[in-house]
Amino acid sequence: MKSPPPTLGRPPLSLLSIVVPARDEEGCIESTVEHLHVELRLHQIPHEIVVVDDGSKDGTWEKLIALQSRIPTLRPVQNTELHGFGRAIIRGFDSMTGDAVVIMMADESDDSRDVVRYWRLLNEGWDAVFGSRFIKGGGVIDYPWVKLRLNRITNLFIRLIFGTKLNDTTNAFKAYRRSVIDGCRPFLSPHFNLTVELPLKAMTRGYSWTVIPITWRNRRSGVAKLKITEMGSRYLFICLYVWLEKYFSRGDYRKRP
């Protein structure tokens, strides 16, 4: 489930940025950041945790400011422009200083131990590492059945039109070298459809990638921000946009040697 092996002999990465979009997550943002920081320190991974407050109306921002005294690698950022999941992540990309990035959810549904695995694979030379909850070794815990079925239908559609074996494209929890992020700009997705735009552009533009099994756990506090009824046309738009690039752009946007 991967493209050809990456080029060997690439220089080691120096700093991992973890971009965490957060909107009204006062109930879980502290534990998410603390657990992530402990795991990365345990494995001696140089890092910064860029949490982007996307217009929270609760105490999320105040908790982040207070956390800085205990977690020196935390970098809270406010998205003061138009809000949206995708816009918050792009704001994080613009603020990060690392040469690699992992996108992680604020509700601790993603496993911090998988961040360590992402970092190691990026350092092996891969341009991108994608996590899948639906391959051997992966799994989901307490996934709402309606969302699960819609997820599988959406990912099957993407697999068919792009001819890819990746079966969890819509999952936000992925890792990229900074060169991939820069090479996939400009981003068109202001909402959750950025989770599809990024991996599809990375594959279409010729970046190397591999897949590992990951585990997802449903949030234990707060309210999910993904609104299924609002996202169908947005996912379709971005899929068709990248599909047109793949088959009609004549390679104008592909990675250059």
- Domain-wise residue ranges, the chain: 16-248
1 falls in which pLDDT band (50, 70, 90)? very low
* Average pLDDT of span 238-251: 95
Instruction: Report the distance separating Cα 121 and Cα 13, nearest Å.
Output: 11
Cross-strand bridge partners of residue 77: 52
Using 50, 70 and 90 to split pLDDT, how confident is the model at 29?
very high
Which positions ≥6 away from 94 have C-beta within 8 Å?
Answer: none
Please compute the mean of the pLDDT values over residues 28-45 and round it to a whole number: 97
CA–CA distance, 76 with 68 (Å, rounded to integer): 8
For residues 30 and 220, the model is more confident at: 30
pTM of the model: 0.92
Tell me the Cα Rg of the chain: 17
Mean pLDDT taken over the chain? 92
16-248 topology per CATH: Spore Coat Polysaccharide Biosynthesis Protein SpsA; Chain A (3.90.550)
CA dihedral (15, 49, 218, 190) in degrees, to 10, reads -90
